[in-house]
Every structure is written in structure tokens, then in C-alpha cells.
Chains A and B, each alone.
Chain A
Amino acid sequence: MPDYSWPPMDKRQVMGKRLNRLDGVAKASGKAKYSSDLNPNGLIYGALLTCPHAHCTIKSIDINEAKAVPGVTSIRVINGAGKEMQWRGAEIASVAATSESAANDALRKIKVEYDILPHLVKEADLSKVGPRARPSGEQVTGDPDKGFSEAAAVSEGIYGIPVITHCCLESHGQVVRWSGDQIDYWPSTQNVSAIGGDLAKALQVPVPNVSVDMQYMGGGFGSKFPADLWGVEAAQLSKESGGKPVKMFLDRATELSIAGNRPSVFGKVKVGAKADGTIVSWQSETWGSGGMTGGGLNADLFPYVFRGIPNRKVNHTAVSLNLGSARAWRAPNHPQQAYITFSALEDLAAKLRMDPIDFFRKNMDAVRKDFQPTYQRQIAKGMELIDWKKNWHQRGDSGSGQWRRGLGIGFGTWGGLGHDSKCRTTINPDGTVEVEIGSQDIGTASRTMIAMVVAETTGVDYTKVRVKLGDSHYPTSGASGGSTTTGGVSVSSRKSAVNALDKLFERVAPLLNATPDQLEARDNTIRVKGDPSRSMSWAAACQKLGIEKITEMGENVGRNAAKEGLITQGVAGVQMADVSVDIETGIVKMNKLVIVQDCGLVVNPKTAESQAYGAGIMTICAALMEERITDQTLGRVLNADMEFYKLASINDIGEIVVHMDIHPDMDKRGIIGLGEPVAIGGLAAIGNATANAIGVRVPSLPLTPNRVLAALNGKGGLA
């Protein structure tokens, strides 16, 4: 059995270093070709006709006039007469034409008549959703009522987070060419290995007929796993247009309306504690929606992180709306549950006049045992970085000026176990090292991390390792979701590189008068451990292969991974926010967001920190400005654009301080995914900091001037 274990922390040559991403210049110079940048020969353009109503039946559809538009090569009816459409933006027809303008002109010539049906697109007021409510049922632990009767303080509050969307800057879509039996598919996806199968199934063609290639993709955040109807349609348009490649990407309004969202969660929470702060009882009724498919949420996870309290009563109601359906959104459900939990708990702490940090520490026994020391250490670090002792004050004791400053805290936890992954490493006689893997780099720097793992293993410079990914012909690797990629691809690439290196050792050991197990590879050299005088250069060693390259596989099997020790799961993180609120305008400004994150073995601290900065900024967007706004009369999203669907600019985020909890105790656990856990605790931290600053809770995010001023006037609500 080869030794796949990571070199000890202090012996690593490459992993753990702050290295630049390998494709950084390609991306920053514009040379990187995203799928949406591809212009293969003969390219034509696809466009979708989408439903203008929230709920309707299609009475008739007439494409004759559209067919006559010059340049049109194909028109397809996706949903014809008699079909019930459940949301605005749902696909009705598709067109391919020789120019984008012609395709759009043709769309406008398609005549559709509709029978309008009743719709619902709002869920904040549960009393108005009627039969659209689907309660999951009450779950009770202990005796909550008895718990409340024994509590010294009980806090009751309402809290809410509206729907937000992914708003991937590269929209959803693809270039695809269906010519003869062969389908060449260039999607924007988080799922290179499996999306071809998804498309093949929908088109009823054999899986091997679909070749997927995607070198760069412009953001997914959980919304880009399936081939989607637009992929299927684009392929059909290509076939019907004589095998010409079709480019079809959703326009921004459609992307924001139908390509996924993060479900809303609203809730009424009652929570009680003893005089010393010990939480004794929790009761929550929550509801929310992720569109037509409702908005499932495991209510049993309340109160988030502090789940071990003795008495709980929880219930969650999913509301079905006539809007596009939810998709995974960075740490699905966790940010919402964290926001509601830590807002309610902070309100209770404020009622007890306790520093929330003392309060949370007091209740640490309710936290999963193995996380307790981690959280304790992180709290201490966070307090230092945000100067909590100096800057925290009792809720509302923030002076008398226009600007009121406050601090807040939130927690997060996530799994992050590496997914199933296979990888092939080849050592060529000329010394080059190739790594082939059916994975994708969605912005996390997977390419770079794989190269670093292989460089660590083989002693070859990481910039010289040729990482080939984004192609379905390479060994199968999992989709990039749930912070599973870094763990998965690190193990498979490590194993395949070790296996390949062992083969090389077998070839060259005799030349060094050694046995293979006595050799090591470092600094472009193969040498005998403990006797550097017996060595040969990497190039010379590879030359001994003659004409025969070495190709070896490596595999990560998720369910076995933990016992192998290379990767693991389960991380904790603490975030703290420092805000200033202009109480005259209700504008909340970020001063600082502190992110302290446990993350096991960190492959590249530079790119890992980028994940944390990014999640922090996404958190600030959702906390301060980002929300999907719908109109009930029209049954549509009103802000399906980037003007009123507000995202923070470079000047809206204050300072962000990231502390990766890198040290031997964490490192020895192995690699753990990082993207999701850093996206969880900040919402509550910012909401709590705002409450601390202004003396009252703003119940619902985002913390816009209307909501903050309403709360200051005692009129805070869930809208």
C-alpha cells in the first residue's frame, strides 16, 4: 500500500504556500475563453421566448410569421397549446438565427395567446398564502412550555430573509453543436463530468455521443449543475439548423428570474433563558419559499449550532409561489438558519443585558462537543481582531450622534467532505507531468491546487505541472458543490501522482543502488532519503523511461475518505461585524467584518483567503442591499436587472479581515472544503451589530434605510 499521507506540515515544499493562481494571467488579460466567449465556425445564436405571466395556460401559439424573419434557421415550440405555465420566465419557444438580433426579432413575431390563471408571488405574510402553505409538522424535543415557565427571561421576535438570487456574472447557457451523432457541448457548469449525461438523457442519445468541454466559467454558486432546458433546446436548435453550433445564454432578466434562487425564510421565534444566560427553551415557526417547489428547510436544525438545548419546538412551512424554483445557493439553508437563530439569541442576550459573547460561551455545552474548543478559540481570536472589549457596548448605548456604532457576532458550521473523484497522472519521458481530471475550476483555483498537490508529490515546480480539466473525456470527478471539490481533487490527484511516482521510483531505484521505498522526490530531483549524494535530476530520471510514459490513476471515494486521513469534514467558523448606522437616514455602513475560519489543511492560503473575502462580500450584499422584489398584481420580479437588484460595489464593504485557523491541530485533520462555511455567520453578525448600534432589532434583511428607519420608529416588520 503506497503512502498517500500528506507530508508533515513543516516539511511541505509547495502546499501551504501563498502561490498565484496558474490561470491568473489568462483571466486578467482576457485571453481565457469562457464558454460564452467561444465563436466556433458557423456559429448561430439561440434565444428563448419566455412566459410573460405568472400563471396561465397557453391557448394558442403561432410561429409562422417568426419563421419568415430573415436569418432564422430553426424555431421550436417548447410548451404549446394547452400547457400550464407556472411562472413568468418559463420557456415557451426557442429560436436560432444567424445573428442575435434576428433571433430576437423572430421571438417578437411569435404570437401566443394565454388564459390567465390566479397566481401568488409573495410569502412574507403567511396569513395571505392560503392553500399554498405546506407545513412540515411540528417537532418537539423535551418540554418547551415547561422550559419557558422556568425561564427568567423570554424573548419573542420576528425575523426574515428574503429570496436572493445567484446572479452569476456569466449567465446560464452554452454553446452546443449537434452534428451527426456527435454533440459537442461547451456549457457554463459546475458539473463537467455529469452534465453531458444529463443532456444525453434528455435528448435520448447515448452518453458517449456527448463531449463536454469547459475551460473557464463565470460563477455558479450552486446554480449550474444540470443541462437545463436551455441546454437541451440549444442542442435541438443546432440539429435542426444543420449541425451549426448554437450559442444560447440567458439574458440577465431571465437569469435573475428563473435560473435559481436562495429561498426566503421568515420566522417567529420565542426563546427563554435562566438568569445566568443558560438557554432553556426554543420555539420557532418558520416559513419561506424558493418558488414553485416551495422552500424546504430542516426545522430540526433550529437553533442553529446551539442545537443541544433541552427543550425545543420547531415547525417550518414551505410556501409554493408562481416563481422560478430555488437552487443550491452557497451553504444551502445555513445562512438563513444562522441569521434567525443568532438574531433571536442575541435579542435574548440583550434582554438579559449580557454581552452576547458571554451568553454564547455560557451555552457552549449546547454545541457539538468537538466544535466547542474550536469556537472558543475562534471567539477569542475574533474579539482580538475586532477589538470587542473596547468597542462593544450594551445594546443601544452608542452615544447621541448621527452615527451609531455597534458590534455583532454569528456562527457557522459545514461539512465539506471531498466528493468522489478520479484522476490520471502521466509522467512523460521528457519530464513533463500531466494531470487529467474531469473536474472544473469555478473560481476557487482548483487548477492551481491540483498542480500544487502534484508538485508537492513529485518535486516538480507547480507551474510546470500541466493540469487538464473541464473535459468529460478525463476521469470522472464530482460536481463542484457543497465545498467538496478541493478535498476530492486533492486526494485523487495526490494518489495518482504518488502511484505514478512509485512507478518511476521502481525504474530508477537500481540506478541509485537503492530500493524504491528509499527514494524521495524533491526540488526537481530524485534522491535517496538521508543520502542526498545519491540522486539524479527529475529530467534524467524521466529520460530513463525511454519511450514509455507512466500513467497512473488515483481515486477519492467519499465514504472511505475520512478513515484514510487525507481529508475530513466538519468545520466551525465565527464572524464578527462592526457597523456604523446613520440614524437619520437608516444607512448602515460596514466598518469591518472579521472572519475566523477553521479549515483543516489549507492547500493555498492565498486563494483560500479569497474564498473567505468573497463569501464575506456576498454576505454584506445580502445583509445590506440584496433582495428579489416581486409584484403581486403583475406576478413578476420587478428588479430582474443589476440596477435595482443591488450588489455591493468596491466602496460598500468596509474592511474585511480574514483569519484562517491554520495550525498543526487543525492541519492534521486533512483538507476540508471552505466555500460554504465562510458564507454563513456574517448575516447574523451584521444584523446583530446593527441592533447593537441602534438599540432595536431590524427584523428583516436587507438592512435598507426603509427598514432601519421603520425599526427606529417602532414599526419594524417582515416586509
Chain B
Amino acid sequence: MEQFGYASPKTVKEALALLGSDWNDAALLAGGTDLISMMKEYLATPKTVVNLKGIKKLHGITEHGTEVRIGATTTLDDLVSNATIRSQFPSLIQAAMGVTSPQIRNMGTVGGDLCQRPRCWYFRGGMGLLGVKDGKSLILDGENRYHAIFGGGPAYFVSASSFGPALVALDAKILIATPTTTRTVKASEFFVSPKDGNTREIALAPNEIVTEIEIPRGTTNATYEVRHKEGLDWPLATASVALKMSGKTINSASVVLGHVAPTPWNAEAAAQMLAGKTINESVAEAAGAAAVKGATPLSQNDYKVQLTKVAVKRALLTAAGLLT
């Protein structure tokens, strides 16, 4: 790690005052499960580390009529222990429990999950967000078994966020404190597929702070992750669904894929075909097939197309209570 100064502000305002216009000016510390490793690898070299855990109002889950808000420093463990989330947002619970380390669930926060950097081994190996050397993509020519099957470049990493797909499916909003005001971004617009190596993969400026996530209630939802290991392991493919139902009939659906693109990937074709349907095995399977139309797998990862289909199918069956 490089040296840095450390501050633990008590208010968002204080925290904002410590940030700068460059990512190297300051880094926000919540659970630390990504930032500390990034700093150990010298991939993050902030001059100041701003601990957000001392800002009490960033922590906790609150209910507001048709919405629920989750504070950015709410830990995964707090989330899975929350009765409202458990009853109304099983897709978030399933995503959180997919992080199969109690230690990470105790440390990691919801805001940190959204803002964590990609796990692409070229990026982590210091080859930049796009993994380019001498003008050529290392990923296309190299080891891309865990990389994107959607998006078509130039970014081929996959979004590491566990909650991203669920939040996009749930039509959540991300509340952001800026130096001058607050702003709200739809979760679907928070994640960005960068076109160059200098752009971040999230729509957040270096001098801004994610404060809360606001989620509308009223959907039937589920997340299914395909993970190789039961122990701590990144998903190979994820699907998150949020359904507005009339009885057993789907009025409208949102199907969002994870770990298959640089952002959570909205599978609109799958969503459209689900409208008006009742979930059963064959409907779920057809939605899976629709979801992967247009996938452009790389040299080593066409298996992820199959895994994505299965994830969509199983997420739908889970939402319908047909898969336990």
C-alpha cells in the first residue's frame, strides 16, 4: 500500500469536503473488502481514505410508503437480517447469500458492492480496465473464461456487483450526494460500460458519495446465481427477475443478467415474452433462450451462454416458488 491520510467524518458533508476531482485524491472506505486489496496491489493509491462508517445516517434500512431505502454502509449481514427485505426482496437476500463468506457479509456494504471494481484478472494485474497491451485486447486473445458475453467491447470485464442485477430489475434508484446537491440515478444507468480505459464503470464522480438505494415495493422477485463453488466464489452467471403479477399471471417483467457483461444486462426480449404468461418450466426455459439472444461469447466462454439461460430459468422458477 502507498501511504495515505485517514479521516473518519461524522457527516456526509464532512466527507464530501475531503473528496477531490481526481480518484487519486481520496477513496471512500466502507467495508474495505475491495478497497484494501486494491490499495495493496497499488491499483488504488488515494492520498486520503475517507471512512464512511462513522456517518450514522448512511447505515440502516428505512421504509417509506411504496419504497424501501437502504443506506449505503448497510452491511450484507444487516440486509439479510432485515425482515422487510426478507419478505419483500428475496432477490436481494439471494444475491447477498451468494457471497458465501460470513466475514465478507459482515464487512461488505451495499454501497461498496455497487462501487467495487471489476475482478478481471487483467485489470487486477495492472493492465487497465479494458485489459489492453500494445493496442490489443489481452482479453480477446487471452484467458477470457470469466469475461463478458454481452456488450461487444471494448470493455469485456464483468460487473462484479452482486446486487446490481437485482437492483436494476427492481427499478431501484441510487441516491448520490454531490458537492452541491443530491441527485438520483436509476440503477440501470448507474452502471456504465466504459469506452476507454479512463472512464469508470459506474456513473459516479470522484467527489460524490452513494448515500442510499431506494427500491420500490410490489414485485415478485428472485435472483439465481450459478457459482462453481459453494465456498466464496464469484458467480459465473446470474439472473435477477422482478415481476408484477396479477394472481399467477405476469403483467410485466424485468429480467437482468449479471456477471455476463460490463454492466448488469437488461434482457428485454426475455422480459417482453414473459408478459401475460404464467410461469412454468417451459415458459421459464423459453425466457432463458430469449435472454441470451444476441450474446457474443469470446473464445473461451460460450459456456456462459448456457449458464445464463439456466440462471434465467431458475430465477423465474424460484420467483414462482417452483424451485427450492
Contacts and interface: CB of A to CB of B under 8 A. Distances in A.
Nearest to A52: B126
Interface in B109-158: 119, 121-122, 125, 127, 133, 136, 138, 141-143, 145-146
Given A586-B303, A630-B143, A632-B142, 9 more contacts: A104-B1, A625-B228, A631-B138, A633-B136, A636-B125, A644-B119, A646-B233, A705-B228, A709-B303
Interface in A177-227: none
Interface stretch (A236-244, A377-385, A415-423, A649-657): A649-657
A584 B230 CA distance: 17
B317 to A, nearest CB: 11
A141 B44 CA distance: 61
A705 B303 contact: yes
A709 B306 contact: yes
A710 interface: yes
B300 A706 contact: yes
A3 interface: no
A587 B229 CA distance: 9
Interface of A: 101, 104-105, 108, 584-587, 625, 629-634, 636, 638-639, 643-644, 646-652, 704-706, 709-710, 719
Contact of B310 (A108, A584, A650): A584
Contacts, number: 82
A652 B229 contact: yes
B119 A705 contact: no
Nearest to B313: A584
A324 B135 CA distance: 28
Nearest to A122: B143
Interface of B: 1, 3, 42, 100, 119, 121-122, 125, 127, 133, 136, 138, 141-143, 145-146, 226, 228-234, 236, 300-301, 303, 306-307, 310
Contact of B306 (A584, A630, A644): A584
Contact of B142 (A101, A631, A650): A631
B228 A587 contact: yes
**Chain A interface mostly:** loop
A98 to B, nearest CB: 15
B226 A585 contact: yes
Nearest to B146: A644
A648 B231 contact: yes
Contacts of A709: 303, 306-307
Given A634-B138, A638-B143, A587 B226 contact: yes
Nearest to B231: A649
17 contacts: A629-B143, A631-B142, A632-B142, A633-B133, A634-B125, A634-B127, A634-B133, A643-B119, A644-B119, A644-B121, A646-B229, A649-B231, A652-B231, A704-B228, A705-B307, A709-B307, A710-B303
A468 B14 CA distance: 59
A650 B236 CA distance: 20
A671 B307 CA distance: 50
Contacts of A706: 145, 300-301, 303
Contacts of B127: 634
Contacts of B136: 633
A651 B121 contact: no
B228 A649 contact: no
Contacts of B306: 584-586, 709
Nearest to A709: B303
A646 B228 contact: yes
Contacts of A638: 121-122, 125, 143
Contacts of B42: 108
Contacts of B141: 633
A157 B138 CA distance: 32
A705 B138 contact: no
A633 B230 CA distance: 32
A228 to B, nearest CB: 24
